[in-house]
Amino acid sequence: MGSYKDLREFVAMLKDQGQFQEIDVPLNAARETNELQTLMRYVCDQDGPALMLNNLEGYNTPGIPMLFNPFGTRERTSMAMGMRDPLETKLEHARLMTAKDEWHAPKILSRDQAPCKEVVIEEKDIDMRKQIPHVWFGKEQPSFITNAITVSHDPETGERNVGWYRYIQFMDAEHPTGESYTEEQERRWLAAFFWWNPVASHIGLHVSKAHKMGKPLELAIACNVDPAIHLASGTGLNYGEDEFAYAGALKGEPVELVKCDTLDIEVPAHAEFVLEGKCYPEEQMLTGRHSNPVGYYDVINQFPCVRIDHITHRKDPQWYATMEMVPPFDHNYIALLPVEGEVLADLKPKIPEVIDVVVTPNMGYIIQLSVDGADKPHVEFGKYVIHAVWGSAGRWARTAKWVTVVGPDVDPYDLKSVEWAVMTRVQPYSDTIINKSAQAMVLDVSAPRSEQFGAFNSEQIGIDATIKIPERFKEYAPVSNATPEEVAALREKLKGVLDF
Ligand SMILES: Cc1cc2nc3c(=O)[nH]c(=O)nc-3n(C[C@H](O)[C@H](O)[C@H](O)COP(=O)(O)O)c2cc1C
């Protein structure tokens, strides 16, 4: 199992594996340019390497190099757990979600052992316009912090939550209705890109409870952390379960934390930056346009304000920036592997015929079974699996708009193969389920919207692309194809003659 103290060690490993490149060519990160989004398009379409952008222009902190595209492939996301194969990785991720005896309580370091404390910026000196990198992607009106995990505690029970959420920064941000943000807001305010009323995440529940209790929510934002912590923060564990202890299971050893200077919250000791502050839900900030993972901009949104009271960082800090746009983009896979793990952890124990759950970068769900046709355990088994996905644990699968169930001879990572199964095994009326009353994926632009929450209610389609024995046929036409083993053997035979 891979264990990296911090994101730097992960990047050093990528370098050793030939999956990392330093870029000294000047690139422009200013809002009026589109070079970073263009770079994201280019490298993600080519399954390109992780990059360190050393020479950004139009950038408020030119001394801070910017990590780009570290998780841009399924393989690199697996490497965050010291593995390579996506299915093996997600099975291990899923297994560890319930193997509580393999979770490790975090180790607490003293202040002087923690690199994230090397430089301290006290409240009176905070000016994020000079201290925190601001980069723009595409036509986004504010710039985002996208590299940060947030630690907060349930204001009633004290239980910890760690989640990966974006934050909106106000330096040079355009206001969506033409007003302007104040200097104080540019200096030390953020808006938290999470919905809290109604809640759509565990931190949303913390904010909501704090609001009812009439107090702000204390939170700590840690930037660029150990990839196991990033992965755990993107995982929807059961409410109250500790993502740091689960990250310890993903690493095979405890993660190292240190206490915040101004809050009773512990954060990853090897983070590059730690921002300590409070969320004030009654102070709603209007922000927009933001570019979202569905590949569209929203125009205007309303999020709770966060005021930063204290900052610490490393001496020569680094930054990591990613963005959401038409998929695929860098963090698709580190966001989707946890969802695949959540669904597998739920389905596997009750439906052992489930081999793999693949969530595509567009958030289509493909479920591969080990059986098909007459070997299915009962009539309409494919439809049972569709319902099980919609009813499975975690935050996202209930919003799965498109679920396709396939047999073992279909490659769930290859949409050509999935399409072949749909075209040759599905009758659209009989083999699909349309559910008209589902929770929407909150950023789905095709679903009806509520003012406060974004997309609200959605319809869903489940496609049973298994072979319809016994439902419709006694036997099915035999498949005409060469096996992958036959192709590999012939490729070997033609080596040096036909290499492509
Ligand atoms: C790079 C990245 C950015 C994310 N940004 C957000 C966000 O802004 N808001 C949000 O609600 N979820 C976001 N997510 C998804 C959450 O991290 C994920 O649903 C996680 O399980 C939430 O933790 P929780 O279940 O403890 O609330 C993001 C995920 C990744 C990988």
Encode pLDDT of 168-201 as tens digits.
Answer: 999 999 999 999 999 999 999 999 999 998 899 9
Q: Which residues contact 3 (CB under 8 A, 6 or more apart)?
A: 82, 228, 251, 252, 253
Distance CA 94, CA 86 (A): 12
C-beta 203 within 6 A of ligand 1:
yes
Q: Find the 193 Cα to ligand 1 centroid distance in Å.
A: 9
For 166-194, b where at least 16 C-beta lie within 10 A, e where not — what string? bbbbbbbbbbbeeeebeeebbbbbbbbbb
Ligand 1 binding pocket mutation candidate from 153, 165, 292 (most atoms within 8 A of CB):
165
CA distances from 207 to 66, 217, 218, 226, 440 (A): 31, 6, 9, 26, 22
Distance CA 148, CA 458 (A): 30
| Helices 86-98, 243-251: crossing angle, 10 deg rounding | 130
Confidence of residue 1 (pLDDT cuts 50, 70, 90): low
Ligand 1 binding pocket mutation candidate from 199, 201, 331, 399 (most atoms within 8 A of CB):
201
Of residues 217, 244, 221, the one with CA closest to residue 154:
217
Protein residue whose Cα sits closest to atom 6 of ligand 1:
165
Distance CA 11, CA 270 (A): 14
Chain-centroid distance of CA 444 in Å reads 16
Q: Find the 26 Cα to ligand 1 centroid distance in Å.
A: 31
Q: Which residues contact 354 (CB under 8 A, 6 or more apart)?
A: 344, 347, 348, 367, 368, 369, 370, 385
Handedness of CA 234, 75, 17, 79 (dihedral sign): positive
Ligand 1 binding pocket mutation candidate from 166, 190, 238, 292 (most atoms within 8 A of CB):
166
Backbone angles phi, psi at 219, to 5 degrees: -150, 155
Backbone angles phi, psi at 369, to 5 degrees: -105, 155
What would the two tokens of residue 279 be? Answer: 């969320």
| Helices 86-98, 332-350: crossing angle, 10 deg rounding | 60
Sort strands 319-320 and 217-223 into parallel, antiparallel or unpaired.
unpaired
C-beta 244 within 6 A of ligand 1:
no
C-beta 235 within 6 A of ligand 1:
yes
Taking only the tens place, the pLDDT of each residue in 65-105 is 999 999 999 999 999 999 999 999 999 999 999 999 999 99
Q: Find the 162 Cα to ligand 1 centroid distance in Å.
A: 10
Q: What is the DSSP letter of 352?
A: T
Q: Find the 431 Cα to ligand 1 centroid distance in Å.
A: 33
Q: Find the 164 Cα to ligand 1 centroid distance in Å.
A: 4
Confidence of residue 454 (pLDDT cuts 50, 70, 90): confident
C-beta 164 within 6 A of ligand 1:
yes
| pTM summary value | 0.97
Is the preceding omega at residue 268 within 30 degrees of 0, hence cis?
A: no
CB 235 within 8 A of CB 338: yes
Q: Find the 236 Cα to ligand 1 centroid distance in Å.
A: 9
pLDDT of the residue at 258: 99
Q: What is the mean pLDDT of the chain?
A: 97
Taking only the tens place, the pLDDT of each residue in 137-158 is 999 999 999 999 999 999 999 9
- At 369, which amino acid appears? L
C-beta 332 within 6 A of ligand 1:
no
**What domains does the chain contain, in order, with CATH numbers?**
7-320 (2.30.110.10), 351-485 (3.40.1670.10)
Q: Find the 165 Cα to ligand 1 centroid distance in Å.
A: 5
CA distances from 204 to 223, 228, 335, 360, 435 (A): 20, 23, 18, 26, 27
